[in-house]
Every structure is written in structure tokens, then in C-alpha cells.
Amino acid sequence: MDIFALALDFEKESERYYRDLAERCDQPGLKQILNMLADDEVKHFQVVSAMRDGSHPQMPATEVLPRAKNRFSAMKQISKDLCYDSDEIELYRKALTKEEHAETFYREQAAAADSPENAELLNRLADEERQHRFLIENMIEFLHRPQRWVEDAEFNHLEEY
């Protein structure tokens, strides 16, 4: 099994999934967060592609959590007007499953990596997928009960990882 081909396919599929979710989304803040997640998947694709080609690329840290926190803060004003049905929330749960799978996959590959450099990159990819998972968990909670989430959490859910 070619782990790089599998990872590349997975990253491309995740990007498409987030872009599709963003297209369906009527709320500008959530749309921006979904596009940020898709952009991170593009970055992951580029890192995996470079690894496949034998190089050890630099991987800048994701900015998705602090940027998402800003978007959630902006949505605080309109949260009482948001309404999402269970079908839409299920699409976010599917994204959560994808992120969980990706994190597990990268951790397993890091443990079996042929070099310390590749192991480090694979673990960094897993760390970013974990951050994505954390963000999506909070998005699901926000969509389930936006007013209570905003009032109770005061956005502490999205503290730096």
C-alpha cells in the first residue's frame, strides 16, 4: 500500500468536502471557517506530496483556531438567529469522523516512518488534524445550541491548543 497516495487522496477529498460544505453554508462566519479548513487540507496535500518526492518540507503551523475564534466572536451578535437542522449537523459530524480518521492514520504512519524527519512531519500533520477535530466539535456544539454555547462558553472552547 502506498501511504503517500492514500494520504494525498484523503487530503484532496477533505478539501473538496469542506469546500462543498462552505458552498452550502449561508452563514458567512461558518463559511469562512470551512474555507480555512479546506485551505489547511491543501497545505497538507502539498506537504505529503513533497514527502512522497523525497524532500522534507517546512510546514507552517495552522492559524485556523485563532482565526476561527475571531469568526465565532463575530457570530456572537447573530447567534440567536441561527437555525440548523439535524441533516446539516450530520454533515459536520461526517467531517469530524474524517478528521479523527486522518489523525489516527498520521499517528500510525509516524510510528512506522523510515526517518525521524518524516515521523516529525507526520506527527505535525496529526496534530493539525486534531486541531481541526477540536474546531469541528465546537462548530457542532455551536450549531446545536448557538445561544447557550455563546453565553456559557464565552469562546473558551477555542483556546490555543
Burial 103-120 (b: 16+ CB within 10 A, else e): bebbbebbeebeeeeeee
Q: What is the residue range of 50's domain?
A: 3-158
Q: Please tell me the distance from the alpha carbon of residue 102 to that of residue 14, in angstroms, as a whole number.
A: 10
How many distinct structural domains can be found in the chain?
1
Residue 37 sits in a domain whose CATH number is 1.20.1260.10
34-48 pLDDT, tens per residue? 999 999 999 999 999
Residue 64: is its pLDDT beyond 50? yes
In the prediction, which pLDDT does 153 show?
46
In the prediction, which pLDDT does 47 show?
94
| pTM, rounded to two decimals | 0.85
